[in-house]
Amino acid sequence: MAVKDRIPPVERKPEERAKDFEEVSLGYTEELAILEAKRCLQCKVPTCVSGCPVGIDIPGFIKEISKRNFEKSYRILKSYNSLPAVCGRVCPQEVQCEGVCVLNKAGKPISIGNLERFVADWAMQNNLEDKITIERKINKKIAVIGSGPAGLTNAAEMAKRGYVVDLYEVFHTPGGVLVYGIPEFRLPKAIVNKEVAFLEKLGVNIKLDIPVGFAVHPMELLETYDAIFIGVGAGTPKFMGIDGTELNGVYSANEFLTRINLMKAYKFPEADTPVKFAKNVVVIGGGNTAMDAARSALRLGANVTVVYRRSKVEMPARKAEIEHAKEEGIKFQTLTQPVRYIGNNGRLVAIECIKMKLGEPDSSGRRRPIPIEGSNFVIKADMAIEAIGTQANKLLLSQFEGLELNKWGYIKADDYGKTSLPKVFAGGDIVTGSATVILAMGAGKKAANAMEKFLY
Amino acid sequence: MNEILEKKKLAYGVHLFWIKNELIAKKAKPGQFVIFRTHDSGERIPITIAGVNNNKFRVIVKAVGKSTYELCKLQPGDKIADISGPLGMPSEIKFYGKVLVVGGGVGIATIIPIVQALISSGNDVDVILASRSREFFFLTDEFENAKNVYYVTDDGSFGDKGFAHEKMDKLLKEKQYDIAWAIGPALMMKACSEVAKKNNLKIWVSLNAIMVDGTGMCGGCRVLINNEMKYTCVDGPEFDGRLVNWDSFMIRLSQYREEEKLALERYLEKVGEPTWL
């Protein structure tokens, strides 16, 4: 029997969506979702589950979709994953669940991400109440630092198990990278807010605007709480450090995206935070952050080029987003590395770049880029956005006396989030370095198990 | 929380606020700042803490653009939507011996906690207060424990006529100091830093860079200190003024000049004459 091709989700046309920040993919209709769900072979030993960092019963929830039991499907999904509407949208499924679907051998894998998203959205649209069962109240206090995917998951898990949870967030809105990093056109903030509201229903006490490390010393937390989970992410931007980095018009992707996503600078002057509306924007990097920055700049009316030092094959961004970016008219200049920003009266006007060639694979397994001497050339640009990665925020961690860090400055923690300090657990990007939303959530959940064991 | 308890007009466009926030009042140290967001579509702006008392803290706000105009319009009983803080590294307060502290414009408010802490640590503190003219001095009684207070005005309406750095230059010819602080407009801090450099005197300045998060997450407030990139919000805001790349700092301060102008114009169209300033 030939495998039917997978059903594509409904998407807005590139020429229309490139002008606003509304969501690009509209997802599946009920009928499309059922059609796609019916393609699933319902494997007895499902390989897809092994590809999911939180081990969702994928055939289980898909089977219920094919039977039009959307509510039951949602209950299954939600028992594994507290943020399904988010994960269905932002997980790099091609290297996770969908990457190991057996249908890869015969054709296209099941569109698991889109199905997950469909069920979560269906539940939201039908105002399906989350069933909250807190077995017993436990008179022990947990502090969760950071309200990104790791912290949200850990807080939800601990609250469900009956603990008293205080969630500390430095920003005025909870969500971490889900609110300041990933743009509206990929992840509507209304969805994040709804999923955060679930935490409040669980009784999690969300404390906003509190910079732990400044307003609250970590040692005070250690005295007040029975256990602590650190989920502060890797939020400090790296700069290449080339000449001219201080010029006006040079941004870190963190700054650009925070202005756009969290502060809604694309609505300036209706929103008070400004952002430059540039003509020629160069985004440096090849990850999801680079794609998000490039597509955001495009939506502000710019002509955008992504400059990446390796070739397209090595780009770490989600495939779907690279495709979306191309469709929207973003240009890619691969095997290219900026060497100097050129300014005029303190403003960026151009970027000097050098061409690269690929050498032997490095420790990451990707072929190492090597500069081709004398191949320098200049690109006109009035804005440059560096999306070359982030690192740990050293300040906070240094205040936890005795907390061991690895050589990159991230927290040393075992697979269960245990750190060198007995009461302190950690997970997400602050342990692994920049990774994915779902891995951070998985870490938050695993740490909850370990914390429960520790507190028992 | 975040309720305005007291408001006082100090001079045209300069307002004092006491704001209720126990955590900040308890934790703030001299030299630190907070990030304000006045309402839901508001921007995040850094403002230095100019004193604490029980469960409240004080800020002095100068109206220079849309957000600060809006802030100055608020009244006791109103609430600030968000205040995050205290942020930034505290001033390095210890016993030095003889200290010179310069405050210019609203910088006069910023230096109050620093001067008081330096005096408490046993230092002899001389203070230079500089402003455009006589009516822009405020809270001068809070410097009463300083050894000497010298006044300078641009127009000569009070104290010496001239600029803060000129007075500083003069004093350094007569007296020895172990360390200095200068806080005020960028141009003033730059000029004072040059005088200090010439005299081989360490000088702390407090950089009012453009910030978004204020927690080291975006690098928007980056400055060049001794040719090294630093983030004002977490590495500062105080730096050795002799090592600051002032030209680059001031160019970065002007990044959003057109947008700031547009935002203020639109705001004034909406609210009319800003009689409350």
- Which are the contacts of A220, defined by CB distance < 8 A and separation ≥ 6? none
- Which are the contacts of A372, defined by CB distance < 8 A and separation ≥ 6? A354, A355, A356, A357
Model confidence at A36, in pLDDT bands (50, 70, 90)? very high
Enumerate the residues of chain A whose CB falls inside 8 A of the CB of residue B255.
Answer: 248, 276
- Tally of CA atoms within 13 A in the half-sphere of B190 that contains its CB: 10
Q: Taking all residues of chain A, what is their mean pLDDT, rounded to a whole number?
A: 93
Strand order in the sheet with A424-426: A205-207, A164-168, A141-145, A227-230, A424-426
Give the pLDDT score at A1. 44
Mean pLDDT across the stretch A192-211? 91
Helix (H, G, I), strand (E, B) or coil at A431: helix
- Give the mutation candidate from A177, A246, A385 for the B interface (greatest B CB count, under 10 A): A246
Mean pLDDT across the stretch B222-229? 95
Which chain A residue has the Cα nearest residue B68?
Answer: A272
Give the pLDDT score at A3. 59
Enumerate the residues of chain A whose CB falls inside 8 A of the CB of residue B252.
Answer: 246, 248, 346
- Pairing mode of beta strands B203-206, B179-183: parallel
CB atoms within 10 A of CB A67: 13
Q: What share of chain A in percent tops pLDDT 70? A: 99
Nearest alpha carbon to residue A264 among A170, A387, A173, A383: A173
Model confidence at A11, in pLDDT bands (50, 70, 90)? very high
- Give the mutation candidate from A238, A243, A266, A272 for the B interface (greatest B CB count, under 10 A): A272
CB atoms within 10 A of CB A313: 9
User: Which residue in A171, A172, A269 is closest to B266 by CB distance?
Assistant: A269
Q: What is the distance in angstroms between the Cα of A214 and the nearest Cα belonging to chain B? A: 6
Alpha-carbon distances of B112 from A15, A108, B21, B49, B129, rounded to whole Å: 57, 68, 20, 10, 11
Cβ pairs bridging A and B (under 8 Å)? 115
Enumerate the residues of chain B whose CB falls inside 8 A of the CB of residue A242.
Answer: none
Q: What angle do CA A121, A126, A130 make, to 5 degrees?
A: 80
Assess contact for B158 and B135: CB atoms under 8 A. Answer: no
Phi/psi for B259 (5° steps) reads -65, -40
Assess contact for B64 and B70: CB atoms under 8 A. Answer: no
Mean pLDDT across the stretch B78-100? 96
Enumerate the residues of chain B whose CB falls inside 8 A of the CB of residue A269.
Answer: 259, 262-263, 266
Inform me whether the pLDDT recorded for B147 exceeds 60: yes
Which chain A residue has the Cα nearest residue B22?
Answer: A215
Residues B222, A211: C-beta atoms closer than 8 Å: no
Give the pLDDT score at A53. 86
Enumerate the residues of chain A whose CB falls inside 8 A of the CB of residue B254.
Answer: 248, 346
User: Which residue in A209, A248, A255 is closest to B84 by CB distance?
Assistant: A209
Q: What is the pLDDT of residues B187-221, one digit of tens each?
A: 999 999 999 999 999 999 999 999 999 999 999 99
Query: What are the residue ranges of helices labelled H in A105-263?
Result: 112-125, 149-160, 177-180, 189-201, 218-224, 253-257
Residues A214, B32: C-beta atoms closer than 8 Å: yes
Helix (H, G, I), strand (E, B) or coil at A417: coil
Give the pLDDT score at A145. 97
User: Which residue in A237, A248, A273 is closest to B43 by CB distance?
Assistant: A273
Q: What is the pLDDT of residues A70-93, one digit of tens each?
A: 999 999 998 888 889 999 998 989
Residues constituting chain B: 277
- Pairing mode of beta strands A347-361, A367-371: antiparallel
B52 token code pair: 């604490």
Residues A237, B217: C-beta atoms closer than 8 Å: yes
- Give the mutation candidate from B20, B33, B41, B245 for the A interface (greatest A CB count, under 10 A): B41
Mean pLDDT across the stretch A332-342? 97
Q: What is the distance in angstroms between the Cα of B94 and the nearest Cα belonging to chain A? A: 20
Inform me whether the pLDDT recorded for A149 exceeds 80: yes
Q: What is the DSSP letter of A422?
A: T
ipTM of the prediction: 0.94
Mean pLDDT across the stretch B243-264? 94
A104 token code pair: 């890869």
Looking at the DSSP bridge assignments, the partners of residue A25 are A11
Give the pLDDT score at B114. 97
Q: What is the distance in angstroms between the Cα of A272 and the nearest Cα belonging to chain B? A: 5
Inform me whether the pLDDT recorded for A129 exceeds 80: no
- Give the mutation candidate from A171, A172, A214, A260 for the B interface (greatest B CB count, under 10 A): A214
Model confidence at A456, in pLDDT bands (50, 70, 90)? confident
Give the pLDDT score at A2. 52
- Pairing mode of beta strands B33-37, B82-87: antiparallel
Assess contact for B150 and B166: CB atoms under 8 A. Answer: no
Enumerate the residues of chain A whose CB falls inside 8 A of the CB of residue B220.
Answer: 251-252, 255
Mean pLDDT across the stretch B224-234? 95
Mean pLDDT across the stretch A191-197? 87
Residues B218, A171: C-beta atoms closer than 8 Å: no
What is the Cα–Cα distance from B95 to B89, expressed in whole angstroms?
Answer: 18
Looking at the DSSP bridge assignments, the partners of residue A207 are A168
Q: What share of chain A in percent tops pLDDT 90? A: 79
Strand order in the sheet with B82-87: B45-48, B33-37, B82-87
Model confidence at A401, in pLDDT bands (50, 70, 90)? confident
- Give the mutation candidate from B218, B224, B266 for the A interface (greatest A CB count, under 10 A): B218
HEC string for B144-162 = CCCCEEEEEECCCCCCEEC
Enumerate the residues of chain B whose CB falls inside 8 A of the CB of residue A276.
Answer: 255-256
Q: Is B157 exposed, middle or buried (0-12, 13-18, 19+ CB in 10 A)?
A: middle
Enumerate the residues of chain A whose CB falls inside 8 A of the CB of residue B248.
Answer: 246, 346
Mean pLDDT across the stretch B232-251? 96
Q: What is the pLDDT of residues A226-284, one digit of tens each?
A: 999 999 999 899 999 999 999 999 999 999 999 999 999 999 999 999 998 899 999 99
Mean pLDDT across the stretch B103-107? 95
